[in-house]
Structure 1
């Protein structure tokens, strides 16, 4: 096989298998969620404080955020396939570096490399689905893709907890290395170039210009803030969960994964509710309803803390409600942001994804730095971001 046919295998296959694109896209966040139950154990073994250990989550989110702004323009210029293969290689190498890590610093470096590779899988999997579909088929396939992606935060924490309990936290990265390596080999063999018209003249400057146009719109900024706050603030819970459940509530690491699964089910249920309510209420009203539920849940968690009633039931229950509100409000906010300037839909998607992950990283950092062995930092952060979201939505 020649080098050119390796990089651009159009002669061998014209359309990539849709199930493979689903798997590639889902893999983009699996390394984030699957490691959460092992966070506390890994931190103790490597001699790290809770705040330092949580950087393995926070900086992973930072990598995903930055990548949202980079991979799209690169794939427009050089093609989807070579950029995707490069990202999967980085993802795989990040797993290999994490397995023997002897310090928290080495693990953090490996996690950042993982995130920079994972983001390519996340962004380019979706882009390829759009490339190979007409307008009607794209809507159907993206709906299937989004539904499948909800399985990652639902199933990955439980799986991570089981692997950590049976084999130790390092085994999580062994399993992920096998998965990502397999996806890389399948991508080499089965995924062709789907961007038939790479644009050489539209680089970073063109993309940044689209970002500037969108940010000048007050409507876009409000939807951007509302959706980013409501959705990715859940990462603050996910990063705090191992410490709250294990150290405060004295539960096992594998149970942490199961509790995270329960909370993630709320997110999927909220997203399903959007499909029921769509067409029955305006987008802004759906976003407000979801955000209102988030505010209520955050306040209930704060009340439980001050009443001395934080338990597995109250923590999991309030976060389940919060996740439902985020699942309901987030998609409506995305739809509102994307409708501001249809001609700049790609830039809107990239900027929205960047802000989601960036604000998620800030939320996890705030909880990590403030962590005091109680649920107070988490409840204050969630209340603050949901109230900020409510203010933004009320001005629409």
Structure 2
């Protein structure tokens, strides 16, 4: 069992990890499981297929909308009540999708559902860092990320199977019901980390909430060039994967004429590769510091993106596209949790506010970048997608080159 920094029984610590994992998994499932049905959604609501990537990007943007407020509120009032409120909001908006009358309401609900992702990033991630010591926190972030990755890995396949018996409205109702069970698990198992004295004598005291002080603290973070650079790199490194999730239904189903089940099966190589990268990260954590791990991850990361560009400039096949994406995904899996940890501890401010800033910057990069790739034709041809997605990911390299060598190897002191 992982070492906890607060007095938490092993079974409750396990339940806490499982409940957070389920909530994170649900926030992704709310997108991935219905992606095979998005053509049906637009047809049912009489909307243009251009709303398919738009709805996905609105979901990402929803994850940004409240993070600036959620993180500081959790610093003041505690992680536990904020995460319970976020889970309740997510479940209610999923259930409300059953009565969606048109695409405008559907998109608005997607925005609200995406706010659940904001609670995961701004509240549950800092809570994990405050409950567990450094190595275990990074390991849990990676391993729990593997479980969350089961959503894009199995979500499209599960969604295509369920759609043979259920409508897309009933899928959302099911997500709402599972969110209710998740809320019960969080209520029973989640500890409060604010104001609790840890085993090492440290304590994260409540921080008074003031809009004036809040704006000055955010401005101070934005002046921290290292922090902003790492956050931008975090978003850009994930951009090709996010663009693939949003545009895959158009590329595979509408463009290539695959069935929804075939579309779902083609997701397996990409997200399996991310899981492989996370497992490699777990094995290497004991012998290497975080900057070294990220530098190692750049080898498969860059090789995969360069493969996409080379394949697009010759004769890109679906197999070639998948090969490049899978190589890139291994590098992403190896680096994501480590880079998040470096970003979180590149500032001495409260971890709720810092985590909220990480989420806002990185998710905004992914949402805006995904929208731009869709707008310039990334969903119309495999070659266009491969080139623009690869270039977007490679933009992270100058930022990593600039800021990664300057990150202290002991940047992640135990919380």
Provide the TM-score with structure 1 as the length reference: 0.83
Unaligned segments of structure 2, at least 5 residues: 1-11, 197-204, 404-415
Separation in 1, partners of 2:338, 2:14: 30
Q: Does residue 216 in structure 1 map to residue 215 in structure 2?
A: no
> Is 1:17 aligned to 2:15, yes or no?
yes
- Partner in structure 2 of residue 261 of structure 1: 268
Matches within 5 A, 1:71-82: 71-82=70-81
**1:346 to partner: Cα distance:** 4.4
Task: Judge conservation of contact 2:153–2:272 (CA < 8 Å) in 1.
Answer: yes
- Using the TM superposition, name which of 358-367 and 150-159 deviates more: 150-159
Provide the C-alpha distance between the structure 1 equivalents of 2:170 and 2:301, rounded to a whole number of angstroms: 35
Q: 1:384 to 1:140 in 2, by over 3 A?
A: closer
Structure 2 counterpart of 1:309: 316
What's the offset of the Cα at 1:352?
Answer: 1.7
Aligned residues: 383
| Counterpart in the other structure of 2:202 | none
Out of 358, 369, 377, the residue aligned to residue 352 of structure 1 is: 358
Structure 1 counterpart of 2:368:
362
- The 3-state SS of whatever aligns with 2:360 is helix
- Equivalent-residue separation in structure 2 for 1:208 and 1:251 (angstroms): 49
Partner Cα separation in structure 2 for residue 144 and residue 297 of structure 1: 23
Give the distance between the partners of 1:224 and 1:193, measured in 2 at CA. 27
Partners of 1:275 and 1:185 in 2: how far apart? Answer: 30
- CA deviation profile, 1:311-349 (whole Å, cap 9, x unmatched): 2x2222221122112222333433433343345554433
Answer whether contact 2:238 2:393 (CA < 8 A) is retained. no
**1:11 matched residue in structure 2:** none
User: Is residue 2:340 matched to residue 1:334?
Assistant: yes
CA pair 271-15 structure 1, distance change in 2 beyond 3 A: closer
Match of 1:7?
A: none
Q: CA RMSD for the aligned pairs?
A: 3.1
Where do residues 37-52 of structure 1 align in structure 2 (5 Å cutoff)? 37-52=36-51
Return the alpha-carbon distance in structure 2 between the equivalents of residues 331 and 257 of structure 1: 26
**1:182-201 Cα shifts (integer Å, max 9, x gaps):** 22344456657554467362
Contact 1:28 1:119 in 2 (8 A): no
Asked whether the equivalents of residues 87 and 179 of structure 2 are also in contact (C-alpha less than 8 Å), the reply is yes
Q: Does the Cα contact within 8 Å between 2:37 and 2:159 map onto a contact in 1?
A: yes
Q: Distance in 2 between matches of 1:191 and 1:284?
A: 31
Asked if structure 1 preserves the Cα contact closer than 8 Å seen for 2:75 and 2:353, the reply is: no
1:115-165 deviation per Cα after TM superposition (whole angstroms, max 9, x unaligned): 123432454333444555567875665565344333333332322222224
Q: Say if 2:86 and 2:119, in contact at 8 Å, map to a contact too.
A: yes
The alpha-carbon deviation at position 226 of structure 1 amounts to 1.9
* CA shift in 2, pair 1:364/1:50, >3 Å: farther
Distance 1:221 1:194 in 2: 26
The answer on 1:296 being equivalent to 2:294 is no
- Structure 1 stretch 212-221 or stretch 282-291: which is displaced more? 282-291
Instruction: Name the residue aligned to 2:94.
Output: 95
- Of the candidates 241, 258, 263, which is equivalent to residue 234 of structure 1? 241
Q: Distance in 1 between matches of 2:334 and 2:136?
A: 24
C-alpha separation between the residues in 1 aligned to 2:86 and 2:380?
37
Contact 1:77 1:203 in 2 (8 A): no
1:1-396 pair list within 5 angstroms: 17-18=15-16, 19-130=18-129, 132=131, 142=141, 144-188=143-187, 195-196=194-195, 199=206, 201-278=208-285, 283-311=290-318, 313-342=319-348, 345-371=351-377, 373-396=380-403
